[in-house]
Amino acid sequence: MRPYPESREIKELVDSGRWEEAKAGLELLASKQNDSAMLNDLALIYARLGERKRAVEVIEQAKALDDDVRIWINHYFLTELSKWKCERGEKALKRIKELKVGEPELKPKLSIIMRTYNRGQLIEKSIRSVLNQKFQDWELIIANDGGSKDVEQTLEKLWDKRMVYAYAEHSGPAGVFNVGLRLARGEYIGFLDDDDIVYPEHFERMVSYLDHQPEVKVLYSGIKYVWLKKDGRVEKGSICFPPGFQPLEIEKRGFPMQLSALVFRKECLEKAIGFLEDIRSSVDWEFVWRLNQDSEFRYLSEVAGETYCREGFEQITKHSFQHRFMFNLLRYYYGLSPFFSWGMRHKDLSQKFLDRLKKVFSECPELVSGLDFRLLYRHQGYVLFYNLAKELEAENQGKKAIKAYWISVSLAPYEPKIWLKIIRFYLRKLWKRIAK
């Protein structure tokens, strides 16, 4: 698949977000010439504009003309993307089974949304951190995602007229957040996970800033990460997020902030109407990116509070294939880094890399969904396979791991860390044989 003569102009339109213009230009070109690269790019643009069924039809036409691995991968992800309903909470209120409102006529300045699911033993500390805020003109909306009702014992003990409690059908992290958004009555909206805390001055600072800076729609700050082992000992703590915010950072890094450190104007929901309910991971990232499409972000150089990562709790981590698969789908949804004919939008791809990628897709197609294509923004192509190999080795999938290591070293033959991994792999294998 080679770029067509007009691909530079189409690329400029895509990179600047002028999707409708890019679509019109490519439709005209494709009507005159049956070219796989044109059809490939047009399919990706259709997907970005929400025409997902049409995207699949067009990418299938491209696939029939060319066996380029980029078209194969695009076909795979666009087919998966076409299954999404793309609902953002339109039916959220119908999922509520029980609703308790402390003060029905309350008109708070700030709505704080707390989602909870089987965390009754942890939520008390989070609620108390809200009660202890210096800023008191708030409502706390606690949305239970169909989990255990033991949280209600804590609520009974701490109940305040500014609280709202909704017990809803289980719908996942995006769905339960949408329940909270639909119940919110405040001018501003913030979030707090049911096992995190916010410091007493946090919401006072955020609300004051937004009051005095009407042009700012979304405000965020830093947060302290606290890693806890099962016995409660602190494993690691750090203050996150630099002061600068650039939209491209979301593409490169994945997710630049915690929702607990974010406050935005409710008017933003006119366009970013809610969380995307088709996804079970990368939920927060997707909502932040959607906000960023139409709203100005500003960074406040303070620490909002603490977010806790607990050993032993079930969660999808950044190393999870499932998480990266969902993240890759989101990139296709937003047109951020799929394989256009000219490369990955902001970064060109070498033919050597594409050949190795094709080898992986041909021999182990199930692995492609979990590749972290985001790495290509910051690293050479070999890192994609090197990281994959390390994960496969950790999961005792030795045959697949060594294949990935060899692909990695073929792209970076002078990289010593890859050779070291390969040598160690074979030494361990030899030792196991001797031990027998």
pLDDT at 309 over 80: no
CA distance 310 to 227: 6
E-state strands within 127-233: 138-144, 163-168, 188-191, 197-198, 218-228
pLDDT of residue 347: 58
Q: Cβ distance 305 to 311 under 8 Å?
A: no
More confident residue, 168 or 344: 168
pLDDT at 256 over 70: no
Widest distance between CA atoms in the chain: 76
Q: What is the mean pLDDT of residues 90-102?
A: 96
Kindly give the pairing relationship between strand 262-265 and strand 138-144: unpaired
pLDDT at 251 over 80: no
Strand partners, 39: none
pLDDT of residue 174: 95
In the chain the domains, ranked by start, together with CATH numbers, are 1-83 (1.25.40.10), 92-310 (3.90.550.10), 347-436 (1.25.40)
pLDDT at 2 over 90: no
**Side-chain half-sphere exposure of 340, counting CA atoms within 13 A:** 30
CA distance 218 to 197: 20
CA distance 190 to 309: 20
- Pick from 115-119, 362-366, 390-394, 418-422: least confident: 362-366
CA distance 128 to 197: 8
More confident residue, 227 or 107: 107
pLDDT at 65 over 70: yes
Q: Mean pLDDT in the chain? A: 88
pLDDT at 311 over 80: no
Contacts of 266 (CB under 8 A, 6+ apart): 111, 184, 186, 187, 188, 189
Other beta carbons within 10 Å of 143: 28
pLDDT of residue 140: 98
3-class state of residue 230 by DSSP: coil
Q: What is the mean pLDDT of residues 331-344?
A: 82
pLDDT in tens, 338-393: 689 887 655 567 888 888 888 888 887 777 877 888 787 778 888 988 988 888 88
Q: What is the mean pLDDT of residues 9-21?
A: 93
pLDDT of residue 312: 47
Q: Cβ distance 43 to 327 under 8 Å?
A: no
pLDDT at 37 over 50: yes
Contacts of 214 (CB under 8 A, 6+ apart): none
More confident residue, 260 or 363: 260
326-348 burial code (b ≥16 CB/10 A, e <16): bbbbbbbbbbbbbbbbbbbbeee
E strand or H helix that includes residue 404: helix 398-411
pLDDT at 241 over 90: no
pLDDT in tens, 265-305: 999 999 999 999 998 888 988 998 899 888 888 888 888 99
pLDDT at 224 over 80: yes
Q: What is the mean pLDDT of residues 179-206?
A: 96
Strand partners, 121: none
